Structure 1
Protein backbone atom coordinates (compact mmCIF):
# COMPACT_ATOMS: atom_id res chain seq x y z
CA UNK A 1 0.00 0.00 0.00
CA UNK A 2 3.04 2.27 0.05
CA UNK A 3 3.04 2.71 -3.70
CA UNK A 4 1.01 5.93 -3.78
CA UNK A 5 3.07 9.01 -3.18
CA UNK A 6 1.66 11.72 -5.47
CA UNK A 7 4.86 11.75 -7.49
CA UNK A 8 6.99 12.08 -4.34
CA UNK A 9 5.97 15.68 -3.62
CA UNK A 10 6.44 16.72 -0.01
CA UNK A 11 3.39 17.59 2.06
CA UNK A 12 2.95 21.29 2.71
CA UNK A 13 4.07 22.67 6.06
CA UNK A 14 0.53 23.53 7.14
CA UNK A 15 -0.59 19.93 6.66
CA UNK A 16 2.47 18.66 8.52
CA UNK A 17 1.81 20.95 11.46
CA UNK A 18 -1.79 19.77 11.68
CA UNK A 19 -0.81 16.10 11.31
CA UNK A 20 1.89 16.12 13.99
CA UNK A 21 -0.14 18.32 16.35
CA UNK A 22 -3.24 16.13 16.15
CA UNK A 23 -1.28 12.91 16.53
CA UNK A 24 0.51 14.39 19.56
CA UNK A 25 -2.81 15.42 21.14
CA UNK A 26 -4.31 11.97 20.60
CA UNK A 27 -1.31 10.13 22.02
CA UNK A 28 -1.05 12.36 25.10
CA UNK A 29 -4.78 11.93 25.78
CA UNK A 30 -4.13 8.32 26.80
CA UNK A 31 -5.04 6.51 23.57
CA UNK A 32 -2.72 3.88 22.16
CA UNK A 33 -0.95 4.44 18.85
CA UNK A 34 -3.28 2.28 16.77
CA UNK A 35 -6.44 3.97 18.01
CA UNK A 36 -4.88 7.42 17.69
CA UNK A 37 -3.81 6.83 14.09
CA UNK A 38 -7.20 5.40 13.11
CA UNK A 39 -8.94 8.47 14.57
CA UNK A 40 -6.50 10.65 12.65
CA UNK A 41 -7.43 8.85 9.43
CA UNK A 42 -11.16 9.07 10.11
CA UNK A 43 -10.98 12.80 10.79
CA UNK A 44 -8.96 13.67 7.68
CA UNK A 45 -11.04 15.42 5.02
CA UNK A 46 -8.41 15.56 2.28
CA UNK A 47 -8.80 12.29 0.37
CA UNK A 48 -5.19 12.31 -0.86
CA UNK A 49 -3.74 12.82 2.62
CA UNK A 50 -6.18 10.27 3.98
CA UNK A 51 -4.92 7.66 1.53
CA UNK A 52 -1.36 8.49 2.55
CA UNK A 53 -2.21 8.08 6.24
CA UNK A 54 -3.87 4.75 5.51
CA UNK A 55 -0.74 3.55 3.71
CA UNK A 56 1.44 4.72 6.61
CA UNK A 57 -0.73 2.90 9.13
CA UNK A 58 -0.74 -0.29 7.02
CA UNK A 59 3.05 -0.15 6.83
CA UNK A 60 3.35 0.17 10.62
CA UNK A 61 0.92 -2.73 11.11
CA UNK A 62 3.11 -4.89 8.85
CA UNK A 63 6.04 -4.36 11.21
CA UNK A 64 7.88 -1.27 10.05
CA UNK A 65 8.74 1.51 12.47
CA UNK A 66 6.89 4.80 12.17
CA UNK A 67 9.92 6.70 10.89
CA UNK A 68 10.65 4.00 8.30
CA UNK A 69 7.05 4.21 7.08
CA UNK A 70 7.28 7.99 6.82
CA UNK A 71 10.59 7.75 4.95
CA UNK A 72 9.23 5.11 2.58
CA UNK A 73 6.33 7.32 1.56
CA UNK A 74 8.76 9.90 0.06
CA UNK A 75 6.40 12.63 1.29
CA UNK A 76 8.32 13.76 4.37
CA UNK A 77 11.68 15.46 4.80
CA UNK A 78 14.82 14.02 6.36
CA UNK A 79 14.11 16.24 9.37
CA UNK A 80 10.67 14.68 9.90
CA UNK A 81 11.95 11.12 9.64
CA UNK A 82 15.02 11.83 11.75
CA UNK A 83 13.06 13.40 14.62
CA UNK A 84 10.52 10.55 14.57
CA UNK A 85 13.40 8.10 14.66
CA UNK A 86 14.80 9.88 17.72
CA UNK A 87 11.41 9.64 19.42
CA UNK A 88 10.98 5.95 18.68
CA UNK A 89 14.50 4.96 19.69
CA UNK A 90 14.25 6.86 22.99
CA UNK A 91 10.64 6.01 23.77
CA UNK A 92 9.58 9.67 23.64
CA UNK A 93 7.58 9.79 20.44
CA UNK A 94 5.15 12.30 21.96
CA UNK A 95 7.94 14.84 22.49
CA UNK A 96 9.16 14.30 18.94
CA UNK A 97 5.67 14.97 17.59
CA UNK A 98 5.36 18.10 19.73
CA UNK A 99 8.76 19.26 18.49
CA UNK A 100 7.74 18.81 14.84
CA UNK A 101 4.38 20.53 15.36
CA UNK A 102 6.11 23.50 17.01
CA UNK A 103 8.84 23.55 14.37
CA UNK A 104 6.37 23.77 11.48
CA UNK A 105 4.21 26.29 13.33
CA UNK A 106 7.19 28.62 13.70
CA UNK A 107 8.35 27.90 10.18
CA UNK A 108 4.95 28.93 8.81
CA UNK A 109 5.04 32.11 10.90
CA UNK A 110 8.53 32.92 9.62
CA UNK A 111 7.43 32.32 6.04
CA UNK A 112 4.51 34.69 6.54
CA UNK A 113 6.90 37.29 7.93
CA UNK A 114 9.18 36.87 4.91
CA UNK A 115 6.23 37.03 2.53
CA UNK A 116 4.92 40.17 4.20
CA UNK A 117 8.38 41.71 4.17
CA UNK A 118 9.20 41.10 0.50
CA UNK A 119 5.78 41.06 -1.19
CA UNK A 120 5.54 44.83 -1.73
CA UNK A 121 9.23 45.25 -2.67
CA UNK A 122 8.88 42.30 -5.03
CA UNK A 123 5.89 43.92 -6.75
CA UNK A 124 7.94 47.10 -7.12
CA UNK A 125 10.88 45.14 -8.55
CA UNK A 126 8.77 43.21 -11.09
CA UNK A 127 6.98 46.38 -12.17
CA UNK A 128 10.30 48.17 -12.55
CA UNK A 129 11.78 45.38 -14.65
CA UNK A 130 8.76 45.43 -16.96
CA UNK A 131 8.96 49.22 -17.27
CA UNK A 132 12.71 49.17 -17.95
CA UNK A 133 12.40 46.42 -20.58
CA UNK A 134 9.59 48.38 -22.26
CA UNK A 135 11.64 51.58 -22.24
CA UNK A 136 14.76 49.88 -23.62
CA UNK A 137 12.97 47.86 -26.32
CA UNK A 138 10.29 50.40 -27.38
CA UNK A 139 10.93 53.94 -26.14
CA UNK A 140 14.70 54.13 -26.71
CA UNK A 141 14.47 52.98 -30.39
CA UNK A 142 11.86 55.71 -31.00
CA UNK A 143 14.21 58.37 -29.63
CA UNK A 144 17.07 56.87 -31.65
CA UNK A 145 15.11 57.35 -34.90
CA UNK A 146 14.32 60.97 -33.99
CA UNK A 147 17.96 61.77 -33.19
CA UNK A 148 19.15 60.01 -36.34
CA UNK A 149 17.02 62.35 -38.47
CA UNK A 150 18.22 65.37 -36.49
CA UNK A 151 21.89 64.49 -36.83
CA UNK A 152 24.57 65.88 -34.59
CA UNK A 153 26.74 64.39 -31.87
CA UNK A 154 24.87 62.64 -29.03
CA UNK A 155 26.07 62.69 -25.41
CA UNK A 156 28.06 59.66 -24.30
CA UNK A 157 25.39 58.37 -21.91
CA UNK A 158 22.75 58.56 -24.63
CA UNK A 159 24.94 56.61 -27.05
CA UNK A 160 25.51 54.00 -24.33
CA UNK A 161 21.79 53.55 -23.63
CA UNK A 162 21.08 53.26 -27.37
CA UNK A 163 23.85 50.64 -27.63
CA UNK A 164 22.28 48.67 -24.76
CA UNK A 165 18.90 48.86 -26.50
CA UNK A 166 20.32 47.58 -29.80
CA UNK A 167 22.18 44.73 -28.10
CA UNK A 168 19.39 43.85 -25.67
CA UNK A 169 18.13 40.78 -27.63
CA UNK A 170 21.69 39.43 -27.66
CA UNK A 171 22.05 40.02 -23.91
CA UNK A 172 18.76 38.24 -23.34
CA UNK A 173 19.83 35.27 -25.44
CA UNK A 174 23.17 35.01 -23.63
CA UNK A 175 21.38 35.16 -20.27
CA UNK A 176 19.00 32.35 -21.29
CA UNK A 177 21.90 30.19 -22.50
CA UNK A 178 23.84 30.74 -19.27
CA UNK A 179 20.78 29.93 -17.15
CA UNK A 180 20.16 26.76 -19.17
CA UNK A 181 23.78 25.63 -18.76
CA UNK A 182 23.62 26.28 -15.00
CA UNK A 183 20.38 24.31 -14.73
CA UNK A 184 21.89 21.38 -16.66
CA UNK A 185 25.01 21.45 -14.50
CA UNK A 186 22.99 21.30 -11.28
CA UNK A 187 20.85 18.47 -12.63
CA UNK A 188 24.01 16.47 -13.36
CA UNK A 189 26.38 17.52 -10.58
CA UNK A 190 24.22 19.37 -8.04
CA UNK A 191 24.57 16.65 -5.40
CA UNK A 192 28.36 16.35 -5.48
CA UNK A 193 30.30 17.56 -2.44
CA UNK A 194 32.25 20.10 -4.48
CA UNK A 195 29.09 21.73 -5.83
CA UNK A 196 27.34 21.66 -2.46
CA UNK A 197 30.36 23.23 -0.77
CA UNK A 198 30.62 25.97 -3.39
CA UNK A 199 26.90 26.82 -3.27
CA UNK A 200 26.89 26.84 0.53
CA UNK A 201 29.82 29.25 0.53
CA UNK A 202 28.05 31.54 -1.94
CA UNK A 203 24.79 31.44 0.03
CA UNK A 204 26.44 32.18 3.36
CA UNK A 205 28.33 35.15 1.84
CA UNK A 206 25.13 36.77 0.55
CA UNK A 207 24.32 40.07 2.28
CA UNK A 208 21.50 39.77 4.83
CA UNK A 209 20.28 36.41 3.50
CA UNK A 210 23.51 34.62 4.46
CA UNK A 211 23.22 35.65 8.10
CA UNK A 212 19.54 34.65 8.22
CA UNK A 213 20.30 31.22 6.79
CA UNK A 214 23.16 30.70 9.24
CA UNK A 215 20.98 31.64 12.23
CA UNK A 216 18.18 29.39 10.99
CA UNK A 217 20.45 26.35 10.79
CA UNK A 218 22.08 27.13 14.14
CA UNK A 219 18.66 27.37 15.79
CA UNK A 220 17.64 24.07 14.23
CA UNK A 221 20.91 22.48 15.36
CA UNK A 222 20.44 23.64 18.97
CA UNK A 223 16.81 22.53 19.17
CA UNK A 224 17.44 19.12 17.65
CA UNK A 225 20.48 18.46 19.82
CA UNK A 226 18.47 19.55 22.86
CA UNK A 227 15.76 17.06 21.91
CA UNK A 228 18.37 14.32 21.61
CA UNK A 229 20.17 15.16 24.86
CA UNK A 230 16.92 15.52 26.83
CA UNK A 231 15.93 12.10 25.49
CA UNK A 232 19.12 10.70 27.07
CA UNK A 233 20.77 10.02 23.71
CA UNK A 234 24.58 10.11 24.10
CA UNK A 235 26.11 13.25 22.63
CA UNK A 236 28.23 11.33 20.13
CA UNK A 237 25.23 9.35 18.92
CA UNK A 238 23.18 12.54 18.67
CA UNK A 239 25.78 14.30 16.52
CA UNK A 240 25.95 11.26 14.22
CA UNK A 241 22.15 11.27 13.87
CA UNK A 242 22.15 14.97 12.98
CA UNK A 243 24.21 14.19 9.85
CA UNK A 244 21.10 12.58 8.33
CA UNK A 245 18.74 15.34 9.47
CA UNK A 246 20.54 18.65 8.78
CA UNK A 247 21.82 18.20 5.23
CA UNK A 248 23.16 21.73 4.57
CA UNK A 249 26.73 20.93 3.56
CA UNK A 250 28.83 23.03 6.01
CA UNK A 251 26.89 21.74 9.01
CA UNK A 252 26.73 18.17 7.77
CA UNK A 253 30.49 18.21 7.21
CA UNK A 254 31.13 19.72 10.64
CA UNK A 255 29.15 16.92 12.32
CA UNK A 256 31.62 14.35 10.98
CA UNK A 257 34.60 16.27 12.38
CA UNK A 258 32.86 16.91 15.71
CA UNK A 259 31.92 13.23 16.06
CA UNK A 260 35.50 12.19 15.33
CA UNK A 261 36.77 14.59 17.98
CA UNK A 262 34.29 13.32 20.57
CA UNK A 263 35.48 9.76 19.94
CA UNK A 264 39.01 10.93 20.79
CA UNK A 265 37.82 12.52 24.03
CA UNK A 266 37.95 16.16 22.90
CA UNK A 267 35.51 18.75 24.24
CA UNK A 268 32.35 19.45 22.26
CA UNK A 269 32.79 23.23 22.57
CA UNK A 270 36.34 23.05 21.23
CA UNK A 271 35.15 21.24 18.12
CA UNK A 272 32.42 23.85 17.56
CA UNK A 273 35.08 26.54 17.86
CA UNK A 274 36.85 25.10 14.80
CA UNK A 275 33.93 26.35 12.65
CA UNK A 276 33.49 30.04 13.55
CA UNK A 277 31.90 30.75 10.18
CA UNK A 278 28.82 28.61 10.95
CA UNK A 279 28.71 28.55 14.78
CA UNK A 280 28.49 31.85 16.67
CA UNK A 281 30.91 32.73 19.43
CA UNK A 282 27.97 32.95 21.83
CA UNK A 283 27.00 29.35 21.06
CA UNK A 284 30.58 28.23 21.66
CA UNK A 285 30.62 30.02 25.04
CA UNK A 286 27.27 28.59 26.17
CA UNK A 287 28.25 25.07 25.15
CA UNK A 288 31.53 25.47 27.02
CA UNK A 289 29.64 26.54 30.17
CA UNK A 290 27.13 23.74 29.67
CA UNK A 291 29.88 21.14 29.49
CA UNK A 292 31.65 22.48 32.58
CA UNK A 293 28.46 22.70 34.68
CA UNK A 294 26.75 19.60 33.25
CA UNK A 295 23.87 21.76 31.93
CA UNK A 296 24.38 21.33 28.21
CA UNK A 297 20.67 20.69 27.59
CA UNK A 298 19.65 24.01 29.22
CA UNK A 299 22.25 25.94 27.26
CA UNK A 300 21.19 24.39 23.96
CA UNK A 301 17.53 25.17 24.66
CA UNK A 302 18.34 28.78 25.60
CA UNK A 303 20.48 29.37 22.53
CA UNK A 304 17.91 27.77 20.25
CA UNK A 305 15.20 30.09 21.54
CA UNK A 306 17.49 33.15 21.41
CA UNK A 307 18.48 32.40 17.82
CA UNK A 308 14.84 31.98 16.82
CA UNK A 309 13.98 35.39 18.27
CA UNK A 310 17.00 36.96 16.57
CA UNK A 311 15.96 35.39 13.28
CA UNK A 312 12.44 36.80 13.52
CA UNK A 313 13.83 40.24 14.40
CA UNK A 314 16.23 40.14 11.43
CA UNK A 315 13.39 39.17 9.10
CA UNK A 316 11.43 42.24 10.17
CA UNK A 317 14.50 44.42 9.70
CA UNK A 318 15.08 42.99 6.23
CA UNK A 319 11.55 43.89 5.19
CA UNK A 320 11.91 47.44 6.48
CA UNK A 321 15.23 47.84 4.65
CA UNK A 322 14.38 46.26 1.30
CA UNK A 323 11.47 48.54 0.45
CA UNK A 324 13.31 51.92 0.43
CA UNK A 325 16.43 50.39 -1.14
CA UNK A 326 14.44 48.93 -4.04
CA UNK A 327 12.45 52.12 -4.53
CA UNK A 328 15.63 54.20 -4.65
CA UNK A 329 17.41 51.70 -6.92
CA UNK A 330 14.52 51.39 -9.35
CA UNK A 331 13.97 55.15 -9.36
CA UNK A 332 17.64 55.68 -10.11
CA UNK A 333 17.63 53.28 -13.09
CA UNK A 334 14.50 54.83 -14.59
CA UNK A 335 15.95 58.30 -14.06
CA UNK A 336 19.19 57.35 -15.86
CA UNK A 337 17.27 56.09 -18.91
CA UNK A 338 15.00 59.14 -19.06
CA UNK A 339 17.78 61.66 -18.57
CA UNK A 340 19.96 59.99 -21.19
CA UNK A 341 17.10 60.15 -23.70
CA UNK A 342 16.08 63.73 -23.02
CA UNK A 343 19.58 65.16 -22.58
CA UNK A 344 20.06 65.82 -26.33
CA UNK A 345 16.75 67.73 -26.35
CA UNK A 346 17.91 69.87 -23.47
CA UNK A 347 21.11 70.67 -25.34
CA UNK A 348 19.16 71.42 -28.51
CA UNK A 349 16.86 73.75 -26.56
CA UNK A 350 19.92 75.56 -25.17
CA UNK A 351 21.39 75.99 -28.63
CA UNK A 352 18.11 77.30 -30.05
CA UNK A 353 17.78 79.67 -27.08
Structure 2
Protein backbone atom coordinates (compact mmCIF):
# COMPACT_ATOMS: atom_id res chain seq x y z
CA UNK A 1 0.00 0.00 0.00
CA UNK A 2 2.79 2.44 0.91
CA UNK A 3 4.61 1.64 -2.34
CA UNK A 4 1.44 2.49 -4.28
CA UNK A 5 1.01 5.70 -2.28
CA UNK A 6 4.43 6.83 -3.47
CA UNK A 7 3.42 6.24 -7.10
CA UNK A 8 0.10 8.12 -7.07
CA UNK A 9 0.05 10.82 -9.76
CA UNK A 10 -0.77 13.87 -7.64
CA UNK A 11 -0.37 12.84 -4.03
CA UNK A 12 2.62 10.49 -4.47
CA UNK A 13 5.07 13.38 -4.66
CA UNK A 14 3.56 14.88 -1.52
CA UNK A 15 3.80 11.57 0.36
CA UNK A 16 7.39 11.03 -0.83
CA UNK A 17 8.60 14.48 0.18
CA UNK A 18 6.81 14.30 3.51
CA UNK A 19 8.37 10.93 4.23
CA UNK A 20 11.83 12.17 3.25
CA UNK A 21 11.41 15.27 5.41
CA UNK A 22 10.49 13.14 8.44
CA UNK A 23 13.28 10.63 7.75
CA UNK A 24 16.03 13.22 7.35
CA UNK A 25 14.78 15.40 10.24
CA UNK A 26 14.61 12.45 12.64
CA UNK A 27 18.06 11.13 11.69
CA UNK A 28 19.54 14.63 11.90
CA UNK A 29 18.06 15.27 15.34
CA UNK A 30 19.12 11.93 16.76
CA UNK A 31 22.62 12.04 15.29
CA UNK A 32 23.03 15.65 16.43
CA UNK A 33 22.03 14.62 19.96
CA UNK A 34 24.92 12.18 20.07
CA UNK A 35 23.05 8.94 19.40
CA UNK A 36 25.30 6.52 17.49
CA UNK A 37 24.32 6.16 13.84
CA UNK A 38 23.33 2.47 14.03
CA UNK A 39 21.09 3.10 17.04
CA UNK A 40 19.63 6.25 15.47
CA UNK A 41 18.70 4.31 12.34
CA UNK A 42 16.72 1.91 14.52
CA UNK A 43 14.29 4.70 15.44
CA UNK A 44 14.35 6.52 12.12
CA UNK A 45 12.68 3.71 10.15
CA UNK A 46 9.55 3.72 12.27
CA UNK A 47 9.41 7.51 12.36
CA UNK A 48 9.31 7.72 8.56
CA UNK A 49 5.72 6.48 8.54
CA UNK A 50 6.22 4.49 5.35
CA UNK A 51 6.95 0.76 5.11
CA UNK A 52 9.17 1.25 2.03
CA UNK A 53 11.48 3.59 3.95
CA UNK A 54 11.22 1.45 7.07
CA UNK A 55 12.55 -1.56 5.13
CA UNK A 56 15.21 0.57 3.44
CA UNK A 57 16.31 1.89 6.83
CA UNK A 58 16.60 -1.66 8.21
CA UNK A 59 18.87 -2.53 5.25
CA UNK A 60 20.91 0.64 5.77
CA UNK A 61 21.28 -0.20 9.46
CA UNK A 62 22.62 -3.66 8.61
CA UNK A 63 25.04 -2.25 6.03
CA UNK A 64 26.29 0.53 8.32
CA UNK A 65 26.81 -1.90 11.20
CA UNK A 66 29.14 -3.94 8.95
CA UNK A 67 31.21 -0.87 8.05
CA UNK A 68 29.62 0.42 4.83
CA UNK A 69 29.29 4.19 4.61
CA UNK A 70 25.85 5.70 5.13
CA UNK A 71 25.74 7.19 1.63
CA UNK A 72 26.64 3.92 -0.11
CA UNK A 73 24.07 1.98 1.88
CA UNK A 74 21.41 4.62 1.17
CA UNK A 75 22.30 4.49 -2.52
CA UNK A 76 22.03 0.70 -2.60
CA UNK A 77 18.39 0.82 -1.44
CA UNK A 78 17.35 2.80 -4.51
CA UNK A 79 14.65 4.79 -2.71
CA UNK A 80 16.54 7.98 -1.87
CA UNK A 81 16.69 10.84 -4.39
CA UNK A 82 20.04 12.34 -5.46
CA UNK A 83 19.59 15.42 -3.25
CA UNK A 84 19.47 13.35 -0.06
CA UNK A 85 22.38 11.20 -1.22
CA UNK A 86 24.52 14.23 -2.04
CA UNK A 87 23.70 15.96 1.24
CA UNK A 88 24.51 12.79 3.19
CA UNK A 89 27.76 12.35 1.26
CA UNK A 90 28.85 15.93 1.92
CA UNK A 91 27.86 15.57 5.57
CA UNK A 92 29.87 12.38 5.96
CA UNK A 93 32.95 13.86 4.30
CA UNK A 94 32.84 17.12 6.25
CA UNK A 95 31.83 15.59 9.58
CA UNK A 96 28.61 17.59 9.76
CA UNK A 97 26.09 14.90 8.85
CA UNK A 98 23.44 16.23 11.24
CA UNK A 99 23.61 19.74 9.75
CA UNK A 100 23.44 18.51 6.16
CA UNK A 101 20.50 16.22 6.90
CA UNK A 102 18.77 19.13 8.67
CA UNK A 103 19.23 21.24 5.52
CA UNK A 104 17.78 18.43 3.40
CA UNK A 105 14.84 18.22 5.81
CA UNK A 106 14.32 21.99 5.54
CA UNK A 107 14.26 21.74 1.74
CA UNK A 108 11.72 18.91 1.74
CA UNK A 109 9.55 20.56 4.38
CA UNK A 110 9.43 23.74 2.27
CA UNK A 111 8.50 21.68 -0.81
CA UNK A 112 5.75 19.91 1.15
CA UNK A 113 4.36 23.29 2.25
CA UNK A 114 4.36 24.53 -1.36
CA UNK A 115 2.65 21.36 -2.60
CA UNK A 116 -0.03 21.58 0.08
CA UNK A 117 -0.71 25.23 -0.82
CA UNK A 118 -0.92 24.35 -4.52
CA UNK A 119 -3.24 21.40 -3.90
CA UNK A 120 -5.49 23.40 -1.60
CA UNK A 121 -5.76 26.21 -4.16
CA UNK A 122 -6.72 23.59 -6.78
CA UNK A 123 -9.27 21.94 -4.51
CA UNK A 124 -11.12 25.14 -3.58
CA UNK A 125 -12.79 25.68 -7.00
CA UNK A 126 -13.64 21.98 -7.24
CA UNK A 127 -15.31 22.04 -3.83
CA UNK A 128 -17.27 25.17 -4.74
CA UNK A 129 -18.58 23.58 -7.95
CA UNK A 130 -19.55 20.34 -6.18
CA UNK A 131 -21.36 22.25 -3.44
CA UNK A 132 -23.11 24.40 -6.05
CA UNK A 133 -24.34 21.31 -7.90
CA UNK A 134 -25.55 19.71 -4.65
CA UNK A 135 -27.38 22.83 -3.49
CA UNK A 136 -28.83 23.39 -6.97
CA UNK A 137 -30.08 19.80 -7.00
CA UNK A 138 -31.72 20.27 -3.61
CA UNK A 139 -33.42 23.51 -4.71
CA UNK A 140 -34.74 21.87 -7.88
CA UNK A 141 -35.93 18.84 -5.91
CA UNK A 142 -37.84 21.13 -3.53
CA UNK A 143 -39.41 23.48 -6.11
CA UNK A 144 -40.17 21.00 -8.92
CA UNK A 145 -43.22 19.54 -7.12
CA UNK A 146 -44.55 23.07 -6.52
CA UNK A 147 -44.23 23.92 -10.23
CA UNK A 148 -45.86 20.61 -11.20
CA UNK A 149 -48.70 21.34 -8.77
CA UNK A 150 -49.26 24.66 -10.54
CA UNK A 151 -49.61 22.86 -13.89
CA UNK A 152 -52.09 20.33 -12.49
CA UNK A 153 -54.30 22.99 -10.84
CA UNK A 154 -54.14 25.40 -13.76
Matched, 1:308 2:109: yes
- 1:193-204 equivalences in 2 (<5 Å): 199-204=1-6
The equivalent of 1:213 in structure 2 is 15
1:298 equivalent in alignment to 2:99: yes
Match of 1:270 among 45, 50, 72: 72
Q: Provide structure 2 residue ranges, at least 5 long, that are not aligned to the other structure.
A: 131-154
Aligned CA distance change for structure 1 residues 221 and 231 (closer, same or farther; 3 Å): same
Partner of 1:250: 52
Structure 1: stretches of 5+ with no match in the other structure: 1-198, 330-353
| Residues 13-36 of structure 1, C-alpha deviations (whole Å, 9 max, x = no match) | xxxxxxxxxxxxxxxxxxxxxxxx
Residue 304 of structure 1 deviates from its aligned partner by: 0.9
8 Å contact from structure 2 (residues 23, 45) kept in 1: no
- How far the C-alpha of 1:303 sits from its partner, in A, is 0.9
RMSD: 2.3
Residue aligned with 1:273, SS? helix
- Looking at structure 2, the residues matched to 281 and 327 of structure 1 have their Cα atoms a distance apart, in angstroms, of 39
Could you tell me which residue of structure 2 aligns to residue 285 of structure 1? Answer: 86
Q: Give the TM-score taking structure 2 as reference length.
A: 0.76
Normalised to the residue count of structure 1, the TM-score between the two structures is: 0.35
Counterpart for residue 40 of structure 2: 238
Cα separation, 2, equivalents of 1:287 and 1:212:
22
Q: Which has the larger Rg?
A: 1
Deviation at 1:313, TM superposition (A): 0.5
The residue aligned with 1:226 is 28
Take 1:321 and 1:247, find their aligned partners in 2: how far apart are those partners?
26
Residue-by-residue CA offset, 1:91-136 (whole Å, 9 max, x unaligned): xxxxxxxxxxxxxxxxxxxxxxxxxxxxxxxxxxxxxxxxxxxxxx
Quote the residue 1:47 is aligned against.
none
Q: Match of 2:76, SS?
A: coil
In 2, the alpha carbon distance for the partners of 1:315 and 1:214 equals 13
Per-residue CA deviations over 1:219-267 (Å, capped at 9, x if unaligned) read: 1111111111111111111101223433421011011100111022111
Does the 8 A contact of 2:28 with 2:98 survive in 1? Answer: yes
Q: Deviations over 1:140-176 (max 9, x none)?
A: xxxxxxxxxxxxxxxxxxxxxxxxxxxxxxxxxxxxx
Q: How far apart, in 1, do the equivalents of 2:29 and 2:108 lie?
A: 16
> Larger relative contact order (C-alpha < 8 A, sep ≥ 6)?
2
